[in-house]
Structure formats: structure tokens, C-alpha cells
Structure 1
Amino acid sequence: MEKFEKVKQLVADIETDAGKFYNSNNGAAGTRVRKAMQDLKVLASEIRKEISEKKSAK
């Protein structure tokens, strides 16, 4: 559950940069959003792996 909380926090953290990119065409903010989205992808993959392991253990 700890990793899920990290996902929620990460999404909340990038909201400002996403707004800057989409509304103001700020390229640097877009780069930060892309990096955060990659981090989010890695975290989601880890969560999927944990869930699969936990289901298999039953």
C-alpha cells in the first residue's frame, strides 16, 4: 500500500507542471512531466509485480 500512496503523491506533485505545459506551452515543465510519468510507470510496474506475487502465494 505504501507504493500506491507514492503513486498518488507523484500524480499530485506533477499537476502544476502539467498545467504549465498544457496551458502555457512551457517546455521545461513538459520535460519534468515526462520524467515523472516514467517514474510513475516504473512504480506501477512494481505494484503489478507485488500484486501478482501476493496472489500466487495464496
Structure 2
Amino acid sequence: MEKFEKVKEVISAIEADATKFYENGNAAAGTRLRKAMQDLKVLAQEIRAEVTEKKNSDK
């Protein structure tokens, strides 16, 4: 659950950069957004692995 909370924090933190990029065309904000999305991808994969491990260990 800790990593899921981290996902929510990252999304909350990058919301301003997403707005700056999509509405104002700020390229630097786009770069920060891309990096944050990559971090989210890594977190999501870690969460998937944990869920699979927990699901299989409960059998």
C-alpha cells in the first residue's frame, strides 16, 4: 500500500507541470512530466509484482 500512496503523491506533484505543458506549451514542464511518468511506470511495475506475489502466496 505504501507504493500506491507514492503513486498518488507523484500524480499530485506533477499536476501543475501537466497544466503548464498542455495549456501553455512549456517545454521544461513537459520534460519534468515525462520523467515523472517514467517514475510512475516503474512504481506501477513494482506494485504489479507485489500484487502477483501476494496473490500467489495466498494459495
Same fold (TM over 0.5): yes
How do residues 19-30 of structure 1 correspond to structure 2 at under 5 angstroms? Answer: 19-30=19-30
TM-score (norm 1): 0.99
Please tell me whether residue 16 in structure 1 is matched to residue 16 in structure 2: yes
Partners in 1 of 2:26 and 2:39 — Cα distance?
20
* 1:3-35 CA-partner distances (Å, limit 9, x unpaired): 000000000000000000001100000000000
Aligned to 2:3: 3
TM-score (norm 2): 0.97
Partners in 2 of 1:46 and 1:38 — Cα distance?
13
**Percent identity among equivalent residues?**
67
Runs of 4+ in 1 over 4 A off after TM superposition: none
Aligned to 1:54: 54
Report the aligned-residue RMSD.
Answer: 0.3
Partners in 1 of 2:15 and 2:55 — Cα distance?
33
Gaps of 5+ in 1: none
